[in-house]
Structure 1
Amino acid sequence: MQIKVIAIDDEPEALENLKILLDEQDDYILIDSCTNGKTAIEAIIEQKPDLVFLDIQMPEISGFDVISAVRPYFAPVYVFITAYDQYAIHAFEVNAIDYLLKPFDDERFYAALHKAKKQIELKTNEDLNFKLDALLQKTNANKKAMYIKRIPVKLANRVYFLEIDKVIYLKAENQYINVFLNNGTQHLIRDTLNRLESELNPEIFFRCHRSNIVNINEIKQIEPFFSGDYIMTLKNGDKLKLSKSRKEGLKKLMNW
């Protein structure tokens, strides 16, 4: 009997890599793949997989949010996938839950796969559920503590810090992020929006577009644009696009 698998990651390349690795194993069948938390929740509840590879850092609905939403209905075995996140890794290790740290090699993947298969065969769901509950409780209790309060900026041999509450929005520019502050200044940092987004408070900072993260307290006006998109005018006069696919997330966050 094949083990049914669902893979969840907001990066298409990562999903393709998981598919290739799973295709090499006769005991597993990939029944679905999802690129966001909303479709992931629906897929897990409807298709009831034995095993889920779950990316933790996803926009709008995180991997932890997916688990919380699914828990009342179904409890598969999870292997978590994460970029470097010291807090998350510590939480996984404390609760003896397996994870894959990006980028991972084939050997590490197959080790996680073997461990998950043993859990499925031994039907240790009760123990696993206890560990998941402990992980979620610890995550929720420490959630605010893990959000950064300052962004470091390197300049020559010096490092200075930008206060997070002064950030209006962040814009991806190739391999850099342009940080716009409420004093009118801009600062380039070498980072990615995906990584930085995981360290920002999602109650304040929202991924309105694949290239932008906005401080919702700086939004002055929202108006319709083309093809279901919207344009947001900020308090400083700058305008940002709100993607059609991300509109519902902002509406919920702002009670719009």
Structure 2
Amino acid sequence: MLSALVIDDELFAREELTELLEETGKITVVDQASNAIEGLKKINQLKPDVVFLDIHMPQVTGIELLAMLDPDIQTRVVFVTAYDQFAVQAFEENAFDYLLKPVDPKRLGITIQRLIKSDNQSIQQYAPLTPPCLDQVPCVGLNRIMIIATDEIEFAYSDISGVHVQTADQVATCQLTLKVLEEKTPLVRCHRQYLINIKAIKEIKLLENGLAEIATSSEHPIPVSRRYLKTLKELLGFY
């Protein structure tokens, strides 16, 4: 039995697909999500075997969500979309499975058989479809969800409560890992637990033992470890 998460901003579409999946007796729908931000959180928490992902959603699309996934999370994705000639062509060229809305039960059956047969095979890489860089990251604050532009972020850091991003005037908990932020945004590593926006550096104070400390544009102190100091200086043009 495969576990599945259904992500779609249309309530009727989510419930209809969930019902069709449960009726097969081969898929257990562990949860649903009404948007990409909620879906990302549930993928990280539940780690389902397969995600049935709507492409066209507001704020963050299904394709953008894929770019936000930690590559260490092993899950398959079945795209669900209204007919879109270019999207379907891209799916077929890269051997991705997809379902057209409204979902046909017979076509769904073929998809499920493919999922079962590929259960022990390597996970498909979605890089051919996803943008190389993220323009925005989903975050949560006090009783609110925020979409923060990456160029507004001064730095990001991780602690026991999760990953956080700091702008000039606010801090928010991010739904992405530091690894994804490093690979998909302009933020660069300066410490095991910190990423910095080069444009937000006001000064670097050189300390003893090869260590350093960054002062950001809004006067936040950021540690720099010996391991990353040389690379950071080179990025700034100091050799």
CA distance in 2, matches of 1:23, 1:39: 22
Flag the structure with higher helix content: 1
Return the TM-score normalized by structure 2.
Answer: 0.55
How far does the alpha carbon of each residue in 1:157-184 deviate from its partner, in whole angstroms, 9 at most, with x for none?
Answer: xxxxxxxxxxxxxxxxxxxxxxxxxxxx
- Report if aligned partners of 2:63, 2:129 keep a CA contact under 8 Å in 1: no
Correspondence list, 1:171-182, <5 A: none
Q: Identity percentage over the alignment?
A: 33
Match of 1:125 among 116, 122, 126: 122
Return the TM-score normalized by structure 1.
Answer: 0.51
Residue 19 of structure 1 pairs with residue 13 of structure 2: no
Aligned residue type for 2:86: Y
1:45 counterpart SS class: helix
Correspondence list, 1:49-198, <5 A: 49-120=48-119, 123-126=120-123, 128-129=124-125, 132-136=126-130, 140=131
- Report if aligned partners of 2:17, 2:103 keep a CA contact under 8 Å in 1: no
Aligned residue type for 1:55: D
**Number of matched residues?**
147
CA distance in 2, matches of 1:71, 1:253: 17
What is the Cα deviation at residue 20 of structure 1?
1.0
List structure 1 runs of 4+ shifted beyond 3 angstroms. 251-256
CA distance in 2, matches of 1:80, 1:103: 13
Aligned residue type for 2:112: L
Report what 1:215 is aligned to.
none
* Greater RCO, CA 8 A, separation 6+: 2
What is the Cα deviation at residue 72 of structure 1?
2.6
- Report if aligned partners of 2:9, 2:57 keep a CA contact under 8 Å in 1: yes
What is the Cα deviation at residue 26 of structure 1?
2.3
- Report if aligned partners of 1:78, 1:116 keep a CA contact under 8 Å in 2: no
- Report if aligned partners of 1:77, 1:125 keep a CA contact under 8 Å in 2: no
CA distance in 2, matches of 1:67, 1:101: 19
Structure 1 residues 253, 102: closer, same or farther in 2, change over 3 A? farther
Aligned residue type for 2:60: I
Aligned-residue Cα RMSD (Å) equals: 2.7
CA distance in 1, matches of 2:144, 2:99: 28
Aligned residue type for 1:135: L
Aligned residue type for 1:63: G
CA distance in 2, matches of 1:95, 1:254: 31
Residue 3 of structure 1 pairs with residue 2 of structure 2: yes
CA distance in 2, matches of 1:116, 1:92: 16
- Report if aligned partners of 2:4, 2:29 keep a CA contact under 8 Å in 1: yes
Unaligned runs of 5+ in 2: 136-142, 153-168, 170-239
- Report if aligned partners of 1:79, 1:116 keep a CA contact under 8 Å in 2: no
Structure 1 residues 17, 95: closer, same or farther in 2, change over 3 A? same
Structure 1 residues 105, 27: closer, same or farther in 2, change over 3 A? closer
Structure 1 residues 245, 110: closer, same or farther in 2, change over 3 A? farther
Which protein is bigger by CA-based radius of gyration?
A: 2
